[in-house]
Amino acid sequence: MKLLHHNKKAVSEIIGYVLLISIAVGLSVVVLVYLKDLIPKDKPTCEDNVNLFLQDHNCKILLGKGNLTIRIVNKGLFMIDAVYVYASEENRSAKNWLNDPNDPTLKDKFFIYLEPEASKTLSFESTVYSNLGKNYSLEIAPGLYDAKTKLTLNCNQATIFQRFACN
CATH assignment at residue 124: 2.60.40.1200
Let me know if 3 is exposed, middle or buried by CB neighbors in 10 A (0-12, 13-18, 19+): exposed
In a domain, 99, yes or no: yes
In a domain, 65, yes or no: yes
Exposure on the CB side of residue 10, measured as CA atoms within 13 A: 3
Total number of domains constituting the chain: 1
Q: What is the phi/psi pair of residue 23, to 5°?
A: -65, -45
Domain that holds residue 57: 52-165
Exposure on the CB side of residue 90, measured as CA atoms within 13 A: 10
Percent of the chain whose predicted confidence (pLDDT) is above 90: 40
Is-above-0.75 flag for pTM?
no
* Alpha-carbon radius of gyration of the chain: 30
> Which pLDDT score is estimated for 94?
85
Read off the pLDDT band of 57 (50, 70, 90): very high
In a domain, 121, yes or no: yes
- Residue 79's region, left for phi above 0, alpha for psi from -120 to 50, else beta, is beta
Mean residue pLDDT of the chain comes to: 86
pLDDT tens by residue, 73-126: 999 998 999 999 999 988 888 888 998 888 888 888 888 899 999 999 999 988
In a domain, 64, yes or no: yes
In a domain, 133, yes or no: yes
Look at strands 151-154 and 80-89 and give their pairing: unpaired
> Which pLDDT score is estimated for 8?
63
pLDDT tens by residue, 138-151: 999 999 988 888 88
In a domain, 34, yes or no: no
DSSP state of 150: T
Specify the 3-state DSSP secondary structure of 24: helix
